[in-house]
Amino acid sequence: DVKVTQSSRYLVKRTGEKVFLECVQDMDHENMFWYRQDPGLGLRLIYFSYDVKMKEKGDIPEGYSVSREKKERFSLILESASTNQTSMYLCASEGAYEQYFGPGTRLTVT
C-alpha cells in the first residue's frame, strides 16, 4: 500500500513565522502535490512537482514556496505566515493519475 506521511497533524504558528510542512511518500512516485482545503472552497492546488528539483505553480501559489530535493520528499514553505493561511493542508503522491493523500496538517495561524 502507498503510504504518504505528513510531518504534523496539528500546528499552531504566529503571524510572520516561517512554517515548514513536510511530506514523504514511499512509492517512488514522480508526481507530488500540495493542496489546501477550506470549507466551501474544496481542494485548491498550491504547487506540484513532476520530478526532483522541479516545481510548478498551482492555482493559489501566492505566499507559498516548495522544495523537492529528493524524490520521496516534498516540502511546503510558508515564508511569512498570515491568518488567511489557516487551513487544512494536504499532500498527495500520484501514480497513474491516482492520488494518495497524507492525513493532512491542520494549521492555525494566530
Partner 1 sequence: TQLLEQSPQFLSIQEGENLTVYCNSSSVFSSLQWYRQEPGEGPVLLVTVVTGGEVKKLKRLTFQFGDARKDSSLHITAAQPGDTGLYLCAGASWETSYDKVIFGPGTSLSVIP
Residue with cell 511530506: 23
Instruction: Quote the distance between the C-alpha of residue 12 and its chain's center.
Output: 16
Residue 15 identity: T
C-alpha cell at 83: 491568518
Q: For partner 1, what does the binding mask look like between residues 55 and 74, x meaning CB under 8 A? A: -x------------------
Bridge partners (DSSP) of residue 80 are: none
Q: Which stretch binds partner 1 (CB under 8 A): 14-22, 48-56, 68-76, 78-86?
A: 48-56
Residue 30 interacting with partner 1 (CB under 8 A):
no
Binding site for partner 1 (CB under 8 A): 4, 42-43, 48, 50, 56, 90, 92, 94, 96-104, 106
